[in-house]
Amino acid sequence: MKKTLQDYKSIIEPVWCPGCGDYGILVSIQRALLNLDIDPENIVSVSGIGCSGRLSHFLNTYSLHGTHGRAVPTALGVKAAHPELTVFAVGGDGDGLGIGGGHIAHASRKNVDMNYLLIDNQIYGLTKGQTSPTSPLGVKTKTSPHGVFEDTLDAIPIFLSYDVSFVARANGVDPKSLTQILMEAISHKGMSIVYILSPCRTFPLLDAKGLKAILQPLPEDHPTDNKMVALERAYSDQPIYTGIFYQVQKPTLEDRLQNVITKVCDNTNGGDKYSLDKVLKSFA
């Protein structure tokens, strides 16, 4: 039976504010999965804490809504244990770039084949409007009542410096191109980050119109295998580019782990796995 969008919807109704950018992102994910015809039972979505972190509630997948900032290492565990699954990690700008920021570089070094959707609304939404690492300098928030005084974190150059093997920026209110990018990310073998700009309606620092004005797709001929070009375009702020900045093939964590198993068993046990008996005897 052909699947429909419904197959990717859980029985739980989204609880975001009316007009929240996250609604569109949810549908784009569902559409990308539908287009790629991935069975829901083979998908695991792990999310952090935040409005964006609620996303996993609404997907008809094996969903794990974990703690604040730990979606990436949790998803890593899922994928390492069961490489056949399609694994998502989802979280906000605070979740992913603040408290959880230390994990990305290391998941990237292992090139875990997960799809990390980082939903940036430039604010801590769920806790009702505090400064996030991407809140613009000078704006007033509940924890910056006299204006944000830290520089804004510039995520794309950072992901590139981590050598994440697939790095894209997407406009959360442009579902068509978002779906397209998500499909590419899911199809990519290795760690992919889709950095999605999404307007928060209740604590508005971004809006659909504003996004449209500043965002522009990367040039058609953008070479996705050139780190320096990617960096240069990542640093551009007029326009701010969307699309796939960088994509390279490297062994995935699955490959790396399998290689070790094969090598060890080949070299020391004629290609077979060790029996428990043999393991114990090696300590005699």
Partner 1 sequence: MLIIAETKRVLKNFMHTHPEMGTLEMEGNQNHSETDFAIRIGGEGGEGVISAGELFAQVAARTAYQVFTYITYPAEIKGGFSMIQIRIKHEKIYSMGSTVDYLIAFNQQAYDVTIKDLKPGGTLIYDPDEVEIKEDLNAECYPIKLTKLVVDATGAKLGKNVVALGALGHLFGVEFGVLEKLIKDRYGAKGGDVIKNNLNALKAGYFTAEEGNWEKKFKLVSDTQAKEHYMLISGNEAVALGAIAAGCRFVAGYPITPATPIFETLTDLMPKVGGRAIQLEDEIASLSACIGASFAGEKAITPTSGPGLQLMGEQLNLASMLELPLVIVDVQRGGPSTGLPTKTEQSDLKFAIYGTSGEAPRVILAPSSVEDCFYQTIRAFNISERLQMPVVVLTDQSIGYRKATVRMPDLSKIIEVDNSVSGETISIPSPEKIELASRIQMDPEKLNEYKRFLDTATGVSPITSPGLKGGQYLGGGLEHDETGKASYLPDNHLKMMRKRFKKLETLTHILEKNPPEYEGPEEAKIGVIGWGSTEGAIREARMLAEQRGILFRHLHPKILSPLPESQVRNFLAGLKQVIIVEENFTGQFAHFVKAKFGIKPIEIHKSEGVPITPEEIFTGIEKVARIVDEKNIARL
Ligand X SMILES: Cc1ncc(C[n+]2csc(CCOP(=O)(O)OP(=O)(O)O)c2C)c(N)n1
Query: Which residue ranges make up the site for ligand SF4 (CB under 6 A)?
Result: 16-17, 20, 22, 51, 121, 125, 200-203
Q: How many residues bind ligand X (CB under 6 A)?
A: 18
Tell whether residue 283 is a contact of partner 1 (CB under 8 A): yes
> Using CB under 8 A, which of 84, 146, 221, 270 touches a second copy?
146
Residue 260: in which H helix or E strand, if any? helix 253-269
Would you say 53 or 243 has its CB closer to ligand SF4? 53
- Only one residue has tokens 């702020």, namely 237
- Give the pair of three-digit tokens for residue 263: 């090598």
* Distance of closest approach, residue 36 Cβ to a second copy, in angstroms: 28
Would you say 58 or 124 has its CB closer to Mg ion? 124
CA distance 204 to 129: 9
111 within 8 A of 193, measured Cβ to Cβ: no
DSSP output for 5-40: GGGGB-SSPP-SPTT-THHHHHHHHHHHHHHHT--G
Residues linked to residue 217 through DSSP beta bridges, in sequence order: 242
Tell whether residue 161 is a contact of a second copy (CB under 8 A): yes
- For residue 31, the partner it binds in partner 1, ligand X, Mg ion, none, with Cβ less than 5 to 8 A by kind, is none
Tally Cβ neighbours within 10 Å of residue 137.
Answer: 11
Residues that bind Mg ion (CB under 5 A): 92-93, 121, 125
124 within 8 A of 106, measured Cβ to Cβ: no
Would you say 204 or 217 has its CB closer to partner 1? 204
192 within 8 A of 108, measured Cβ to Cβ: no
For residues 88-117, which are near ligand X according to CB under 6 A? 91-95
Tell whether residue 124 is a contact of ligand X (CB under 6 A): yes
Tell whether residue 147 is a contact of a second copy (CB under 8 A): yes
Would you say 149 or 228 has its CB closer to partner 1? 149
Instruction: List interacting residues with ligand X (CB under 6 A).
Output: 49-52, 68, 91-95, 119, 121, 123-127, 132
